[in-house]
Amino acid sequence: MPETSAVHTVACVGAGVIGGGWVAHFLARGFDVRAWDPAPDAAAKLTRLVDAAWPALTGLGLAEGASRARLTVTGTLAEAVDGAGFVQESAPEDLSLKQKLLADIDAVTPDGVVIASSTSGYGMTEMQVAAKTPERLVVGHPFNPPYLIPLVEVVGGKLTAPWAVERAGEFYRHVGKTVLTMEREVPGFVANRLQEALWREALHMVANGEATVEQIDTAITDGPGLRWPVQGPMLTFHLAGGEGGMAHMLDHFGPSLKSPWTRLDAPELTTQLRDAVVEGCDEEAGERTIADLVAERDRAIIAVQRAVDEARRG
């Protein structure tokens, strides 16, 4: 792969919501983007997706030279990857399709260029089986919309070379992403596992008539969802413990892990797990005291509420 700073062209394979979102992101960051999708209406679909994203991206500030005119929708896969310094695959979630497509991409992509898959949950180990140079294949899992949500989860498969994982992380950081590099493959990675647990519990509640679709959304948007852009679940509970922090929280609310508050069984709250969580919170908080974190959270929640209210008014 060329040095990150020498990458000027990105190839995007797949013209769905995620593929189109990546196209918009790379265009806004000033890249030439070459896109390919086998669907006959791929160009029209991509144009619509990019046009929908462009006002937001313009508001955020485009990179110098960024232009929608720098998108080329190609007639073949080989033309798309020709001259690309990075390849992002965002095809439908279908394992055999991904295996074949990644092998096809690998066969025509210039040597040494990293090929990343947007897969929501397959491991690269199971996807890279048919590729000739599987060492450059990595997962680079974004969140919708990829042009606004910073997180990208990066993880390699058994045959992926460490340099490819490193290069992918470098490249994503270079284009403004927050990179979470996983040491090993876990189905669903990190964020989707968390999100999926919540989503499954929500589906159970709807299936059982315990809550409506709208109640579930309100429970999040007007409840814990207001805290999560500010402090994740761990720091949130660090503050729920009052002056005693996460240690007090776990010692006090630990028994609620046995409560039937979700269909998901909790792990045993061993001393080891308790200490790992407490120490992790302390590390994450760093120099910030509980009082600092409370003040930061409060300022942010108020600002978040205002921001959402204004955005809803249009």
Interaction with its own copies in 231-270: which residues (CB under 8 A)?
A: 231-237, 239-242, 252-253, 255-257, 259-270
Query: Percent helix, strand and coil across the chain, each rounded to 5?
Result: 55, 10, 35
Among 126, 220, 247, 251, binds its own copies (CB under 8 A): 220
Per the omega criterion (within 30 degrees of 0), is the bond before 55 cis?
no
What mask, x for binding its own copies by CB under 8 A, covers residues 2 to 21?
--------------xx----
From 31-39, 73-81, 124-132, 149-157, span contacting its own copies (CB under 8 A)? 149-157
Q: Which is nearer to its own copies, 40 or 55 (CB)?
A: 55
User: Of 165-204, which residues contact its own copies (CB under 8 A)?
Assistant: 178, 180, 182, 184, 186-188, 190-204
Q: Which is nearer to its own copies, 6 or 311 (CB)?
A: 311
Helices (H) and strands (E) in the chain, counts: 12, 8
DSSP string, 2-65: --GGG--EEEEE--SHHHHHHHHHHHHTT-EEEEE-SSTTHHHHHHHHHHHHHHHHHHH-PPTT
From 33-41, 64-72, 99-107, 205-213, span contacting its own copies (CB under 8 A)? 205-213
User: Of 53-72, which residues contact its own copies (CB under 8 A)?
Assistant: 53, 55-56, 59-60
* Residue 43 touches its own copies, criterion: CB under 8 A: no
Alpha-helical regions (H) of 128-244: 162-174, 191-207, 213-221, 233-240
Round to whole Å and give the CA distance between 139 and 156: 6
